[in-house]
């Protein structure tokens, strides 16, 4: 599975961005998809995930009600809609694919290259 993340950029606090993760590979449709983020000061942290069927989603408490993960169900692109962005959302965002739906980075099998999101105050 190959993953390509895009859509990051610079936005003011309160603004919105939509990240995309395009996946390829013949076994993609059976993998769960997730988004993580990382800053130089912190370990990679879970943001959101969707199971391979698109029927179940998970969110970190810090983004609930503001971020929405969508797509999958064997489609090649998964999205992360980010609304009401805060300066603390600033990070490099990574998409991931894995056979286990977990909120920790370790069990995920494949990673994209990351896209920078910067939220100014």
Position 31 scores a pLDDT of 87
| Contact by Cβ (8 Å): 2, 111 | no
Q: What is the pLDDT of residues 11-35, one digit of tens each?
A: 999 999 999 999 887 677 788 999 9
Position 62 scores a pLDDT of 97
Which residues on neighbouring strands pair with residue 6, listed in sequence order? 20
Position 52 scores a pLDDT of 84
Position 73 scores a pLDDT of 64
Q: What is the pLDDT of residues 82-119, one digit of tens each?
A: 999 999 999 999 999 998 888 888 889 999 999 999 99
Q: For the chain, how big is the Rg over CA atoms in Å?
A: 13
User: What's the average model confidence in pLDDT over 48-66?
Assistant: 93
Which residues on neighbouring strands pair with residue 98, listed in sequence order? 32
């Amino acid at each position: 599975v190959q993953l390509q993340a895009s859509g990051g950029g610079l936005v003011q606090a309160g603004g919105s961005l939509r990240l995309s993760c395009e996946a390829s590979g013949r076994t993609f449709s059976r993998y769960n998809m997730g988004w993580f983020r990382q800053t130089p000061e912190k370990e990679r942290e879970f943001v959101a995930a969707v199971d391979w069927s698109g029927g179940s989603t998970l969110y970190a408490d810090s983004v609930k009600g503001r971020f929405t993960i969508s797509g999958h169900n064997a489609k090649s692109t998964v999205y992360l809609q980010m609304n009401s962005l805060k300066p603390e959302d600033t990070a490099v965002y990574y998409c991931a694919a894995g056979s286990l739906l977990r909120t920790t980075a370790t069990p995920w099998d494949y990673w994209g290259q990351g896209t920078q999101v910067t939220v100014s105050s």
